[in-house]
Amino acid sequence: MKEIINELENANVGKVAEKEPLSKHTTWKIGGPADIFIEPDGVDGLVETMKIINQYNIPWRAIGRGSNLLVDDEGVEGAVIKLGQNISDLEIEGETLRVGGGYSFIKLATIISKEGLSGLEFAGGIPGTVGGAVFMNAGAHGSDMSNILIEARVLFPDGRLIWIKKEDMDFSYRTSRLQKEKGICVEAKLQMRKGDKKTIVEEMQKHKSYRRETQPWNHPCAGSVFRNPLPDHAGALIERAGLKGYRVGGAQISEMHANFIVNVKEAKAGDVLAIIKHVQETIRDKYNVEMTTEVELVRRQA
């Protein structure tokens, strides 16, 4: 790994670290070290990073704010690339946004609401980055990224950096093409519409307040753990099964919202995985419903 690190540093791609604890970069505050951790200094640094990684044929993965990840206690093999503040430009042209993949989703929603632009009210309170929101087709309150994306600029492992139209993103519930082809969304164009500033701000604040009142962000967590097995809702099923408060080690199903697992005391990934397995088995036995995780499980073997 030293040879790769030296080459990355010599290429001035950005921040490069060895054995960086990923607990520093996930909202669950859980996760062992990455063999190599890279935070590129802009899109050019990201492209050069991908080129060097491919030369050495090592496994890699991209992260944003780590708000939807459960990282193995043993860490991640290969390279972890973080899209952060250095890939977070924002341009507003009329009703169109052009925004970097590392831009905070919550911050974007707040800024846009104050500009009197509608379309991102649903994002009030959703953690993560714009790139992560495209990757997951993030959504809430009846809307999601597929409703506002015009196109996304995507870096593929072979070095192609291309714009992909919304129609070609294969969006469905919490799913996109990027989950199948392992592309990194480095930039997105979003379609907004003019609206009444006061109404937009009030709507977004309502969503933020709802999240504060119903979701346990007072403890480290990763948002909803399970996808809703429509027409059912994951939280309602888990609560009905009497699992609120169920605890393993330092992890616990929230007493406030049953689809949240919170880190109450130095939880390990193994604690959370044990709870996930228990929930899946219990719901399967009681209701014959399969519970699929919305959070991504990142294991040591990439």
Whether 227 sits among the annotated catalytic residues: the reply is no
Whether 67 sits among the annotated catalytic residues: the reply is no
298 token code pair? 């990142």
Catalytic residue among 104, 118, 224, 254: 224
Short-list 273, 243, 280, CA closest to 258: 243
Distances (CA, A) of 189 to 44, 107, 135: 19, 16, 14
Number of neighbouring beta carbons within 10 Å of residue 55: 10
Per-residue buried b or exposed e for 100-128, using 16+ beta carbons within 10 Å of the residue's own CB: bbbbbbbebbbbbbeeebbbbbbbbbbbb
Number of neighbouring beta carbons within 10 Å of residue 22: 24
239 token code pair? 């609560």
Short-list 8, 132, 167, 130, CA closest to 78: 8
Instruction: Report the Cα–Cα distance between both ends of the chain, in Å, rounded.
Output: 16
Catalytic residue among 23, 174, 203, 254: 174
> Rounded to whole angstroms, how far apart are CA atoms 118 and 150?
15
Whether 115 sits among the annotated catalytic residues: the reply is no
Sequence-separated (6 or more) residues with CB below 8 Å from residue 255: 216, 244, 245
In DSSP terms, 151 is beta-bridged to 165, 189
> Rounded to whole angstroms, how far apart are CA atoms 182 and 117?
32
Specify the DSSP element, H or E, that contains 294: none
Query: DSSP label at 160?
Result: -
Short-list 110, 100, 129, 114, CA closest to 42: 100
Residues labelled catalytic: 174, 224, 294
